[in-house]
Amino acid sequence: MEQSDVHAETNHEVLRAGLDGATGDVLLVNPTAETLGAAVEMYRDNDSLPPLKVFADSQPLKGLTDDFIVASGIADLVAEDLFEVRTLSTVPRHSLLLTEGGVLSFVQGATSVAGLRTTEESFVSELYDDYSDRWSDAKDFSLRTPPLSHVRETLEADIGAAAVEDFDRILDSLEAAIGDGEGLDEVTISLLVAANNGELLYDISRWGEDIRLASKATFSRNKNLLEEAGLIDTEKVPIDIGRPRLRLLLGDSSLESASIEEVAEEAEQRLGAN
């Protein structure tokens, strides 16, 4: 059986080797968080790669896309017709990359990754046809996260360019954007950005609800958590009619003098300790 295995330090390198020279439909089956994240990063940086069909069990897939960084990146790629995502009822033991010319199986080691590859024609054809048939019968996976490009465009239009810069800098500083002690989620990030720029809670929560990032109630709950942690403060801003609105501010002078990355790091520490 003809083989050309790949051994590398990262999933990104193994995936890149598997995609090299690929033609026709390409399926990524049962990806781990690391493999899916590598695929998103690779496709966002390279528009010459073949479209990718991501095929995974619905529950692990939902877990993977709880990370805003991954989910918003996938949403962008779906909008650009570079990704399709469908759910699979029975998954293989390892992550697989299937092309018309080969099968690559990912094996994660302690400090490196191996891609075990075969190009044996009858085996590849049988497996490729099987998953292609299952793909045809599978359901699309519903992403509930807006594309990152849409988040950025609307944030700049509704709040301002400085807010977009802060938002991007926080995302770049994080390994994941999940919340629950594993990173800051997209709502918390938005609130920290708004506080760093002295924006109104009404404006940032209305923006978030309009683009289906989260409801105003979710923004309000997260605002309360940030206040309890001493990360943000508010001041009342009177309006002509109705109750005063709340301007978001950073919680103390040490945060006000910090970079936005340092604010995010402090938020992770304080929220993780609660």
The reported pLDDT for the residue numbered 274 is 57
Which of 72, 104, 137 terminates a domain? The answer is: 137
- Pairing state of beta strands 83-87 and 102-108? unpaired
48 and 23, same structural domain?
A: yes
196 and 117, same structural domain?
A: no
Q: pLDDT tens digits, residue range 142-167?
A: 888 999 999 999 999 999 999 999 99
Residue 171 lies in a domain: yes
180 and 229, same structural domain?
A: yes
Residue 167 lies in a domain: yes
Which of 91, 108, 137 terminates a domain? The answer is: 137
Residue 27 lies in a domain: yes
**Cβ–Cβ under 8 Å, residues 264 and 170:** yes
Report the run of H or E that residue 232 belongs to, with start and end.
strand 232-237
- Pairing state of beta strands 6-8 and 113-118? antiparallel
H helices of the chain, where? Answer: 11-19, 33-45, 58-64, 68-79, 121-137, 148-158, 161-173, 186-196, 201-210, 216-228, 253-256, 260-273
191 and 88, same structural domain?
A: no
Which of 76, 105, 137 terminates a domain? The answer is: 137
Domain that holds residue 64: 6-137
182 and 110, same structural domain?
A: no
Residue 246 lies in a domain: yes
For 197, phi then psi, to 5°, come to: -110, 5
Q: pLDDT tens digits, residue range 180-213?
A: 655 699 999 999 999 999 999 999 999 999 999 9
pLDDT-flagged residues of the chain (< 50):
1-2
The reported pLDDT for the residue numbered 2 is 47
Residue 244 lies in a domain: yes
88 and 184, same structural domain?
A: no
37 and 105, same structural domain?
A: yes
Residue 142 lies in a domain: no
State the Cα–Cα distance between residues 6 and 22, nearest whole angstrom: 15
126 and 13, same structural domain?
A: yes
pTM above 0.75, yes or no: yes
- List, in order, residues 6 or more apart from 215 with CB less than 8 Å away: 208, 209
The reported pLDDT for the residue numbered 107 is 87
- The CATH number given to whatever domain includes residue 90 is 3.30.870.10
For the chain, what is the domain count?
A: 2
242 and 212, same structural domain?
A: yes
249-252 contacts, C-beta under 8 A, 24 or more apart: 249/195, 249/198, 250/195, 250/196, 251/195, 251/226, 251/227
